[in-house]
Amino acid sequence: MTRFIGRVLIILLGFLAASLVAAFVVTVAMFMEWQEILESGAGWFLIAVLGLILSAQGLLPALLAIAITEVLRLRSSLFYAAAGGAGLVGLYYALGLGETGLGAGVLVSRELEIMAGAGIAGGFVYWAIAGRRAGAWYGPVRTMGMR
């Protein structure tokens, strides 16, 4: 039981860290032209607010993906990076930004690329903290006929 509780805490830590990294990538990429904002305390405030928004909006889909990876013991960094990128691109369209943003109606816009990159970075951070040990709370993997 303590192994399971420890695993849940690591998953929460990984999810929060991934959300903050994704928010950092989005904030830096969006405000790269305005370096004064990033150099001031307002840049860190934007990172915190975007991290809160990204983690709140993406919580249910991320929990579903985390549950699937834990049960199936998926430990591939490529899977987590692809799932993170696809998740934030899906979030971008789910929030309606694909129809009203600067690149509305364009298949690939700068904002869409930023969201995909942020999702990939967040997915990789989640893998580094929690995903590489997915399913570890089950115990050792048993193989049939092999010792």
What's the whole-number mean pLDDT along residues 129-142? 74
Q: Per residue in 29-88, pLDDT tens?
A: 877 777 776 677 777 777 777 777 777 877 888 888 888 888 888 888 899 999 999 988
Q: What is the DSSP string of 11-39?
A: HHHHHHHHHHHHHHHHHHHHTSS-HHHHH
Asked if pLDDT for residue 125 goes beyond 90, the answer is yes
pLDDT at 99: 72
Identify the band that residue 105 occupies on the pLDDT scale cut at 50, 70 and 90: low
Task: Assess if residue 31 is contained within a domain.
Answer: yes
For the entire predicted model, the pTM comes to 0.78
pLDDT at 101: 58
Task: Assess if residue 147 is contained within a domain.
Answer: no
pLDDT at 103: 56
Nearest Cα residue to 125 out of 89, 92, 83? 83
Task: Assess if residue 146 is contained within a domain.
Answer: no
Task: Assess if residue 45 is contained within a domain.
Answer: yes
- Structural domains in the chain (count): 1
d(CA 27, CA 16): 16
Exposed e or buried b per residue across 68-101, where buried means at least 16 C-beta atoms within 10 angstroms of its C-beta? ebbeeebeeeebbbebbbbbbbebbeeeebbeeb
Task: Assess if residue 80 is contained within a domain.
Answer: yes
Q: Give the list of residues 6+ apart from residue 54 with CB closer than 8 angstroms, or none.
A: 19, 22, 23, 26, 88, 91, 118, 122
CA angle 124, 100, 16 (to 5 degrees): 25
Domain that holds residue 74: 2-135
What's the whole-number mean pLDDT along residues 80-100? 84
Identify the band that residue 28 occupies on the pLDDT scale cut at 50, 70 and 90: confident
What's the whole-number mean pLDDT along residues 18-39? 79
Q: Is the separation of the CB atoms in 46 and 31 below 8 Å?
A: yes
